[in-house]
C-alpha cells in the first residue's frame, strides 16, 4: 500500500515492520516525530527518556535482553549519548539496534551544524543515509538486519529535509524476528579492559566485513548517463544534484556510507571526466575520495555550511540561480520567531529584562527567544542544561573578582530534567550564588508538546508520577525555593528582589502551562480559566505611550495613525501581562460577546 | 508530466501545514508522484514559514528552488514579497490581503511597509483575496487556510480531484462541512 509519509514517519513505520519492541528518545527537532509515531503502535514500548544518554542506554539494555530496539535523537543529542555509543559499539547487540541521528544542515532549530557522519567513523559504527521517505523505511529495516548479522549497533543518519519532507512510501506488514533467549555473556558485555581489548580487535574485523557489504549493497549504486560529469553524493544531495544536472551527469549515490565502498568509489571516479562531490556540512565523502587518490571538486566550490538545495548548487556551478523577478526588497521587514501570545515566559522575561547588572545564562527551548527584542534578556545559550552550570561558574568568578554582578540562570522544565538536574546538584553541592530559574510550562514546548518526568504522563499517554521540581531542589539541599505565577508581575518582581540578594543558591519555579498545550485533567484543576479570556484596549484611557509594547506580544500592536495600542482579538489569550504594564489601566478584560 | 511546484508561505500558526497536507493527499490520490517539505520547530513560533509541494510523474528535490515555483500562495501580505524570489517570472501569486505585524514592527524598530500589493502587482501576475473576511463570513476565521487551498486548486487546474472527500477524511467531523464551504468559497475567489 502506498502512503505519503515524512522521513520520521517512515523510520517509525520501518522499525515497526522490523518487529521493534523497544523505542526511546528525547524530543529534538527534527527527530521528534520518530518516537511520537512509534508510541502509537500498541506492540512497541515507546518512552520519552529524560535525555539521549538514557534513551540509548535503555535501548542497549532492551537489545541485550534480546529484542529489537531503536533510539532516536537530534544531532546534538548524540553528543549527550556519545558515552554509551562508543562502547556499545564494542559489545554489539542482542536484538538488532538502530540509533537515529537527525542532523540540521542550515540550523533551522539548532545551535550548531555538526556533521554526525563523523560519529560513525569515530565510534566505528555502520551508517546508512536515506535520501527520501521510501529509503527511510527500507534502510531502517536493513539497519536491523545489519545490526544482527554483524553484531553491532547501526547509525541511521538523517537530515532536516529527510525527516520533514513527505514522499511516497510502500508500506508492509510487521514481522517479528526470531526470539533470542537471554544468557549471560560476560566477555561480550562487561567491558573490563581485558574484555574490551578483545572486543576492540573484533571491531576491526567487523568493519572489514561491513566494507565488503558496502561494496555489494544496492543502496550504494551507480547511475550512468553522460560520463563527462560524475557526481558522488548521499542523502538528499542526490535529489538536489538530479534537479540541477538531470541526465547530463552520472551519479554514484551512496546510501551505506560507513565503512565506504572504496572499490565502487574508485571505479566510478575513474570512469568519469569531471568529478563533483556534493554533500552537506563536512567534506566527509570528499576526504575519503582524496585518500583514494582522486581530486574531486567539492568544498572548494560548494559552501561548507547550509543546505545544498538546487539554487545553492546552481549558484556555485553557474554563478546564478534560475531567473527570478526583480522587486523592491526594502519593503520586507524581518519576521523572527517570537514568544506566542499567552506564553508564560513573557511575564518573567519582561521583569528579568529590566534588571541592571545581571548576567543571564540561558538554555535550549522556546525561552531562548528571551534573547530577542524587546526583552534582550539573555547572555548565553550553548547546550541543554548549561544555563545552571554556566551560571554557577560565572557566579563563582564574579565572587572571586569581587564584582557585584548577579547571575540568573534560566531553563525550562524538560531541559531541567534533561541535564539541568545534574547542574543544580552541582550548584547545591559547591555552594554557588546564582538564582536558578525553572520556567515550568508543564510540557516540552519547542518541539511540539511532548510529555516529560514533570508532566504526569508518559509517551503512551499513561498517567505516571509527576516529579515536583521544588521537592528535587529541596532534596539537593537548596533552602530558598519559591514557585510563582509568571503572569503575576508583582510576584515575579518581589521574588527576584529577594533572591538576588542571597549568598547561596536558590531556585525559582515559574509554573504556568504553555499557551499551546492541550490541558490534562490536572491542568484544568490547577489552572482553572487559563486562556479563556481576551483583553481589549479602552481607547479613551490609552495615551499612546507604547509602554505595553515592551511585552513583545504578537497579539498587541500599535496603531500609528490613531496612536493607540490594539489587541488582536483572535490571538489574545488574556494572560494579562500587558494590562499590568499599562500605567493608565487602559487594557482590561473584554466582556463576553 | 513536468514537475509543478506550489509554494505556500505565511506566519507560524496560520495553518499552512494543514492546507499543504490536504493538497498533497489530493495529489497522491490523483496518481502523481508527490513530495512536500516544510520546516518545523523554532521558526513556527510566529516566524516566517513555508510549505513546499511538488508533483508530477517523477519528482526529485522536495525543496522548491529560487525561481522555481509555478505559484506562490501567501497567507500574509508581506510574506508574499519575502518569498517572491522563489517564483518563476511567469508564475502566479495568490495573496491573502491580511497583515500580521512582525515583532520589529511591534517593538517600534520598523514600520509595516505600505504599497506591498502595488509592488507585487507591478512585477507579477497577482490575485489578491480577502480570505480572512471570507472565513469570517463563514463563521470561523480559522478556516482561512482552507479558503486559500480552494484558490490554489482552482489556479492549478486541479478541480477534477474529489476535494470534499479528501477534506471529510482528514478534518474533524464537526468541522468538515465548514471546511468544504471554505474550500468552495476559495475556488470562487480566483
Q: What is the reported pLDDT for A593?
A: 46
A129 contacts: CB under 8 Å, gap ≥ 6: A117, A139, A157, A158, A234, A235, A254, A255, A256, A257
pLDDT in tens, B91-147: 999 999 999 999 999 988 999 999 999 999 999 999 999 999 999 999 988 899 999
CB pair distance less than 8 Å for B36 and A326: no
Of A166, A327, A554, the CB nearest to B119: A327
Alpha-carbon gap: B43 to the closest alpha carbon of chain A (Å):
5
Residues of B in contact with A108 (CB under 8 A): 39, 41-43
Alpha-carbon gap: B50 to the closest alpha carbon of chain A (Å):
12
CB pair distance less than 8 Å for A4 and B24: yes
Residues of A in contact with B39 (CB under 8 A): 108-109, 160, 164
CB pair distance less than 8 Å for A132 and B62: yes
Residues of B in contact with A327 (CB under 8 A): 81, 84, 119-120, 122-123
Q: What is the rounded CA–CA span in Å between residue A227 and residue A272? A: 5
CB pair distance less than 8 Å for B45 and A331: no
User: For residue A388, how far is the Cα from the chain centroid?
Assistant: 19
Chain A contact present for B2, CB below 8 A:
no
Q: What is the rounded CA–CA span in Å between residue A559 and residue A566? A: 7
Q: What is the reported pLDDT for B45?
A: 76
Residues of B in contact with A336 (CB under 8 A): 47, 102-104
- From the list A457, A438, A590, A464, the residue with the least C-alpha distance to A519 is A457
Domain architecture of chain B: domains with CATH: 4-188 (3.40.920.10)
Tell me the three-class secondary structure of A476-489, residue by residue.
CCCCEEEEECCCCH
CB pair distance less than 8 Å for A335 and B34: no
Chain B contact present for A521, CB below 8 A:
no
CATH of A345-526, one of 3.40.1160.10, 3.40.50.720, 3.40.50.970, 3.90.480.20: 3.40.50.970
Residues of B in contact with A2 (CB under 8 A): 28
Residues of B in contact with A549 (CB under 8 A): 106-108
CATH of A220-318, one of 3.20.20.70, 3.40.50.80, 3.30.530.20, 3.40.50.920: 3.40.50.920
Mean pLDDT computed over B163-178: 94
DSSP structural state of residue A111: S
CB pair distance less than 8 Å for A366 and B45: yes
Q: Render the burial of B121-141: b for 16+ CB within 10 Å, e for the rest.
A: eebbebebbebbebbeebeeb
CB distance A31 to A53 below 8 Å: no
CB distance A156 to A141 below 8 Å: no
Residues of B in contact with A251 (CB under 8 A): none
Q: What is the rounded CA–CA span in Å between residue B96 and residue B159? A: 21
pLDDT in tens, A342-390: 999 999 999 999 999 999 999 999 999 999 999 999 999 999 999 999 9
Tell me the three-class secondary structure of A408-444, residue by residue.
EEEEEHHHHHHHHHHHHHHHHHHCCCCEEEEEECCCE
**Residue ranges of chain A with per-residue pLDDT less than 70:** 591-593
Q: What is the rounded CA–CA span in Å between residue A584 and residue A563? A: 15
Q: To which residue does cell 553524493 refer?
A: A233
Residues of A in contact with B120 (CB under 8 A): 327
DSSP structural state of residue A548: G
- What part of B 76-135 touches A (C-beta under 8 Å)? 78-79, 81-82, 84-89, 100-113, 115-116, 119-120, 122-124
- What part of A 318-377 touches B (C-beta under 8 Å)? 321-340, 366, 368-369, 372-374
CATH topology of domain A535-589: Alpha-Beta Plaits (3.30.70)
Q: What is the reported pLDDT for A10?
A: 98
Of A30, A323, A332, the CB nearest to B40: A30
pTM to 2 decimal places: 0.97
Q: What is the CA radius of gyration of chain B?
A: 16
Is-same-fold flag (A345-526; A535-589)?
Answer: no
Residues of A in contact with B105 (CB under 8 A): 333, 557
Chain B contact present for A103, CB below 8 A:
no
CATH of A2-216, one of 3.40.50.720, 3.40.50.970, 3.20.20.70, 3.40.190.10: 3.40.50.970
Q: What are the residue ranges spanned by the domains of chain A?
A: 2-216, 220-318, 345-526, 535-589
Q: What is the reported pLDDT for B14?
A: 87
- Count of A–B CB contacts within 8 Å? 200
Residue-by-residue DSSP string for A296-363? -B-TTTS-SSS---HHHHHHHHHSS-S------GGG-------PPTT-THHHHHHHHHT-SSEEEE--
Q: What is the rounded CA–CA span in Å between residue A577 and residue A212? A: 64
Amino acid at each position: 500500500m502506498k502512503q505519503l509519509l515524512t522521513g520520521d514517519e517512515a523510520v517509525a513505520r520501518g522499525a515497526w515492520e522490523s518487529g521493534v519492541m523497544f523505542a526511546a528518545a528525547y524530543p529534538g527537532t527534527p527527530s521528534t516525530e520518530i518516537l511520537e509515531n512509534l508510541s502509537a503502535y500498541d506492540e512497541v514500548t515507546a518512552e520519552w527518556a529524560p535525555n539521549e544518554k538514557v534513551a540509548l542506554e535503555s535501548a542497549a539494555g532492551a537489545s541485550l535482553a534480546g529484542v529489537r530496539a531503536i533510539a532516536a535523537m537530534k544531532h546534538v543529542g548524540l553528543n549527550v549519548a556519545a558515552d554509551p555509543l562508543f562502547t556499545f559499539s564494542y559489545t554489539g547487540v542482542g536484538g538488532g539496534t538502530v540509533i537515529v541521528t537527525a542532523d540540521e544542515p542550515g540550523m533551522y532549530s539548532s545551535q550548531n551544524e555538526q556533521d554526525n557522519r563523523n560519529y560513525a567513523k569515530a565510534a566505528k559504527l555502520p551508517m546508512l543515509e536515506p535520501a527520501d521517505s521510501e529509503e527511510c523505511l527500507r534502510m531502517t529495516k536493513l539497519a536491523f538486519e545489519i545490526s544482527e548479522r554483524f553484531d553491532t549497533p547501526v547509525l541511521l543518519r538523517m537530515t532536516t529535509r529527510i525527516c520533514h519532507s513527505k514522499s511516497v512510501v510502500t508500506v508492509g506488514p510487521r514481522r517479528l524476528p526470531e526470539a533470542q533467549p537471554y544468557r549471560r555473556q560476560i566477555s561480550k558485555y562487561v567491558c573490563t579492559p581485558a574484555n574490551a581489548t578483545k572486543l576492540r580487535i573484533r571491531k576491526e574485523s567487523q568493519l572489514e566485513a561491513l566494507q565488503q557489504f558496502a561494496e555489494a549493497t544496492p543502496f550504494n549504486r551507480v547511475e550512468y548517463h553522460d560520463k563527462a560529469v560524475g557526481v558522488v553524493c548521499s542523502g538528499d544531495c542526490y535529489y538536489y544534484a538530479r534537479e540541477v544536472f538531470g541526465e547530463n551527469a552520472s551519479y554514484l549515490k551512496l546510501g551505506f556510507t560507513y565503512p565506504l565502498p572504496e572499490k565502487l568509489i574508485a571505479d566510478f571516479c575513474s570512469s568519469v571526466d569531471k568529478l563533483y562531490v556534493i554533500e552537506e556540512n563536512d567534506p566527509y565523502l570528499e576526504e575519503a575520495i582524496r585518500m583514494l587518490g582522486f581530486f574531486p571538486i567539492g568544498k572548494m566550490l560548494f559552501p561548507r555550511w547550509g543546505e545544498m538545495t538546487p539554487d545553492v548548487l546552481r549558484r556555485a556551478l553557474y554563478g546564478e540561480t534560475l531567473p527570478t523577478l526583480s522587486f523592491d526588497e526594502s519593503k520586507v521587514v524581518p519576521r523572527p520567531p517570537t514568544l506566542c501570545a499567552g506564553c508564560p515566559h513573557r511575564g518573567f522575561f519582561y521583569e528579568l529584562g529590566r534588571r541592571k547588572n545581571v548576567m543571564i545564562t540561558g538554555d535550549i527551548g522556546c525561552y531562548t527567544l528571551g534573547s530577542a527584542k524587546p526583552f534582550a534578556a539573555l547572555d548565553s545559550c550553548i547546550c541543554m542544561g548549561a544555563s545552571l552550570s554556566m551560571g554557577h561558574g560565572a557566579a563563582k568568578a564574579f565572587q572571586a573578582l569581587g564584582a557585584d554582578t548577579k547571575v540568573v540562570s534560566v531553563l525550562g522544565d524538560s531541559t531541567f530534567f534533561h541535564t539541568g538536574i545534574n547542574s543544580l546538584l552541582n550548584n547545591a553541592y559547591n555552594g554557588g550564588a546564582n538564582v536558578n530559574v525553572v520556567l515550568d510550562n508543564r510540557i516540552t514546548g519547542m518541539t511540539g508538546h511532548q510529555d516529560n518526568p514533570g508532566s504526569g504522563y508518559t509517551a503512551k499517554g499513561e498517567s505516571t508520577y509527576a516529579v515536583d521540581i521544588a521537592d528535587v531542589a529541596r532534596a539537593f539541599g537548596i533552602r530558598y525555593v519559591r514557585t510563582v505565577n509568571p503572569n503575576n508581575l508583582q510576584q515575579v518582581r518581589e521574588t527576584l528582589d529577594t533572591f538576588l540578594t542571597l549568598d547561596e543558591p536558590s531556585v525559582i519555579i515559574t509554573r504556568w502551562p504553555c499557551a499551546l498545550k492541550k490541558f490534562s485533567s490536572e491542568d484544568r484543576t490547577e489552572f482553572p480559566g487559563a486562556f479563556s479570556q481576551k483583553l481589549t484596549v479602552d481607547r479613551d484611557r490609552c495615551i499612546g505611550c507604547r509602554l505595553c509594547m515592551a511585552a513583545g506580544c504578537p497579539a498587541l500592536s500599535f496603531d500609528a495613525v490613531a496612536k493607540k495600542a490594539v489587541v488582536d482579538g483572535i490571538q489574545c489569550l488574556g494572560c494579562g501581562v500587558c494590562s499590568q504594564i499599562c500605567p493608565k489601566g487602559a487594557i482590561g478584560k473584554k466582556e463576553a460577546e | 508530466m513536468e514537475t509543478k511546484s506550489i509554494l505556500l508561505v505565511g506566519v507560524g500558526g496560520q495553518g499552512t501545514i494543514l492546507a499543504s497536507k490536504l493538497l498533497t493527499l489530493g495529489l497522491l490520490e490523483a496518481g502523481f508522484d508527490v513530495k512536500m517539505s516544510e520546516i518545523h520547530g523554532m521558526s513556527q513560533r510566529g516566524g516566517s514559514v513555508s510549505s513546499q509541494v511538488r508533483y508530477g510523474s517523477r519528482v526529485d528535490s522536495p525543496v522548491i528552488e529560487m525561481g522555481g515555483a509555478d505559484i506562490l500562495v501567501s497567507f500574509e501580505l508581506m510574506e508574499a514579497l519575502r518569498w517572491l524570489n522563489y517564483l518563476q517570472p511567469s508564475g502566479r501569486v495568490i495573496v491573502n490581503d491580511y497583515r500580521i505585524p512582525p515583532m520589529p514592527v511591534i517593538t517600534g524598530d520598523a514600520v509595516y511597509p505600505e504599497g506591498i500589493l502595488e509592488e507585487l502587482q507591478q512585477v507579477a501576475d497577482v490575485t489578491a483575496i480577502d480570505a480572512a473576511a471570507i472565513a469570517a463570513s463563514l463563521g470561523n476565521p480559522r478556516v482561512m487556510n482552507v479558503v486559500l487551498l480552494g484558490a490554489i486548486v482552482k489556479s492549478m487546474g486541479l478541480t477534477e480531484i474529489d476535494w470534499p472527500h479528501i477534506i471529510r477524511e482528514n478534518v474533524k467531523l464537526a468541522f468538515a462541512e465548514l471546511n468544504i464551504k471554505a474550500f468552495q468559497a476559495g475556488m470562487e475567489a480566483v
